[in-house]
Chains A and B, each alone.
Chain A
């Protein structure tokens, strides 16, 4: 540890202590050293779980995921104790629900961000900004209960995939709004003013100048938002009962998703079930990580240039 600290120290300009102050007291040096060690330890405490989780899921799930049946078959006709079957039904369900969620949430979120940056002044803007923060913190189970109260309680509908999408919309809006808002704020005002000076209307300025400039940030927000909603389990438990069969109808019948596939196989220590559970977890992580890394990649390499 101490060697790491000392090499680290060498990379930074040392405080101008040596020449003016002849000696720093031993105690102060010791405290400084201890804190340096502590922050390194804190960092390792944060990274170890990440590596541990990824390794666990990878080592326990990879054999089934490498099987081609995993990507092409459903669990239809597979009893809990039997090996085999795939996650196709769950992957399809997860992606379908996520795509429908995005189709509803993205326009709302982008326009909310446009409102906050381009239009919003005064009290309403403050209230909207505050409510976006509240929406960020809303527990997924509360969002699910709300949709349940409306969808099943008021409209007397069945629990279907579309209801899950509605609950996920609430969770996706704040992610996309905040990310878009940050990007819109970075668009230089000179661009807007130049456009106005040419007599271009405000809406055209926003849609042709501001949004394209901020596009990468918006895409990053969408990808991160998708990653978040795909991993949500609580709305699925409340609103979409699991099924072992393939269902692509968001308005009828039960629909599987990766989190509920994991949840269904949880709890009984039967090896085929455990294998399926970890393989589904690996599939979900892969899906989410790919979206996440893609989002960060887009953000890094096409950020707004000042």
Chain B
């Protein structure tokens, strides 16, 4: 596939570089393959959007309720009726809560690894945190569903008795397999991602900034507050958004941990629910007619757009930092 796109792209490739100017056959093939592969990546992203839209469109056209604001899900009915309002809510709130838990801890871990840890131990410690990213998400799902739930239910009860007057923390429909439980596991999953990038930017803090703060008599914390954190802020924001993107799209851990709750809708995070990804995966066996499948593909399309926006924003933030520091 790459060679086809590559060949068509070849002629437009400028060969201005020193060694490429002789236009040997090997050079042309190699340049073609490289450009072709690069273009292939762009084409794939475009194709994802195009195919998802194309397959979702017929179902969306026949949808008898408003797709974005309805909570019904009956894509097999006649007429089909499906909306993603509750999926959108659970997806976003579970990821945001996960981020609220993970980001402060990640910043702490990144500061620890770059500013506090004994230099000799910093590397193995960092490797240990990185290993968290290597654990497959289905193992997180098992761990959450079989081990952590018992410990979390008392925390849930505690939070809901203190903060129960906030609709988000209401304890009226509390269940152990809650959105909150899913968020806690998601936070462990995104922690290594946020930590890795934050660590990188903290480590790049110019020594002159830190020494200037030290010279003014700053304590270690004051050095961090005045030199390290301001320098690393765009990187931390970008890292958090990458973590958010990961949490939004997580499938199997959410599927195994959070229970489905039918009936009326509640704002509380201590009840169950389904995210885009978990509903698509749970109902994968029901992809029998194109109309029904189209409804799920439409849900996947919304998730794609959501993660695209979040990841693009993360990229923009870090790009602006680069432009600023160079």
Does B300 sit within 8 A of A, measured CB to CB? Answer: yes
What residues of A have a CB within 8 angstroms of the CB of B113 in the complex? 43
Q: B37 contacts A135, CB within 8 Å?
A: no
Q: State how many angstroms separate the Cβ of B259 from the closest Cβ of chain A.
A: 11
Number of A-B contacts (CB under 8 A): 301
Chain A 194-208 per-residue mask, 1 if CB under 8 angstroms from chain B, else 0:
011000111111110
Does B237 sit within 8 A of A, measured CB to CB? Answer: no
Q: A40 contacts B112, CB within 8 Å?
A: yes
Q: Looking at the complex, which of B81-89, B168-176, B246-254, B262-270 is the stretch in contact with chain A?
A: B246-254
Q: Looking at the complex, which of A64-72, A244-252, A259-267 is the stretch in contact with chain B?
A: A259-267
Does B118 sit within 8 A of A, measured CB to CB? Answer: yes
Task: Determine the distance from Cα of A306 to Cα of B157 in the docked complex, in whole angstroms.
Answer: 57
Q: Looking at the complex, which of A16-24, A77-85, A95-103, A213-221 is the stretch in contact with chain B?
A: A16-24
Chain B 34-45 per-residue mask, 1 if CB under 8 angstroms from chain A, else 0:
111111111011
Chain A 22-54 per-residue mask, 1 if CB under 8 angstroms from chain B, else 0:
001000110110011011111101110110110
Q: Looking at the complex, which of B15-23, B66-74, B159-167 is the stretch in contact with chain A?
A: B15-23
Q: B311 contacts A234, CB within 8 Å?
A: no
Chain A 257-293 per-residue mask, 1 if CB under 8 angstroms from chain B, else 0:
0010011001000000000011001001100110010
Task: Determine the distance from Cα of A133 to Cα of B18 in the docked complex, in whole angstroms.
Answer: 30
Number of B interface residues at 8 Å Cβ cutoff, please give it: 107
| Complex: chain A residue closest to B253, CB-CB | A233
B6-65 contacts to A, CB under 8 A, are: 13-14, 17-20, 22, 24, 26-27, 29-31, 33-42, 44-45, 47-48, 51-52, 54-55
What residues of B have a CB within 8 angstroms of the CB of A119 in the complex? 13, 31, 34-35
Q: Pick the contact of A233 from B22, B26, B138, B220 — CB < 8 Å?
A: B138
Does A131 sit within 8 A of B, measured CB to CB? Answer: yes
Task: Determine the distance from Cα of A200 to Cα of B18 in the docked complex, in whole angstroms.
Answer: 11
Q: A134 contacts B188, CB within 8 Å?
A: no
Does B155 sit within 8 A of A, measured CB to CB? Answer: no
Q: B31 contacts A36, CB within 8 Å?
A: no
Q: Given A138-B307, A142-B48, does the pair A289, B134 have CB atoms closer than 8 Å? A: yes
Does B100 sit within 8 A of A, measured CB to CB? Answer: no
B245-283 contacts to A, CB under 8 A, are: 245-246, 248-252, 256, 276-277, 280-281
Does B139 sit within 8 A of A, measured CB to CB? Answer: yes
Task: Determine the distance from Cα of A202 to Cα of B293 in the docked complex, in whole angstroms.
Answer: 49
Does B231 sit within 8 A of A, measured CB to CB? Answer: no
| Complex: chain A residue closest to B105, CB-CB | A42
Q: B220 contacts A43, CB within 8 Å?
A: no
A40-B116, A284-B136 given; 17 more Cβ-contact pairs under 8 Å: A15-B219, A20-B217, A32-B221, A35-B220, A36-B221, A43-B125, A46-B129, A47-B129, A57-B142, A108-B37, A114-B34, A124-B38, A139-B304, A148-B293, A201-B27, A231-B138, A284-B138
Residues of A in contact with B (beta carbons under 8 Å apart): 8, 11, 15-17, 20-21, 24, 28-29, 31-32, 35-36, 38-43, 45-47, 49-50, 52-53, 56-57, 107-112, 114-116, 118-121, 124-125, 127-128, 130-143, 145-146, 148-150, 152-154, 170, 173, 177, 195-196, 200-207, 227, 230-234, 237-238, 259, 262-263, 266, 277-278, 281, 284-285, 288-289, 292, 296
Mind listing 20 A-B residue pairs with CB under 8 Å? Answer: A11-B119, A46-B106, A56-B146, A115-B37, A118-B34, A137-B314, A138-B249, A141-B249, A142-B249, A145-B280, A148-B287, A149-B52, A153-B293, A196-B18, A203-B29, A204-B26, A207-B30, A237-B251, A292-B134, A296-B127
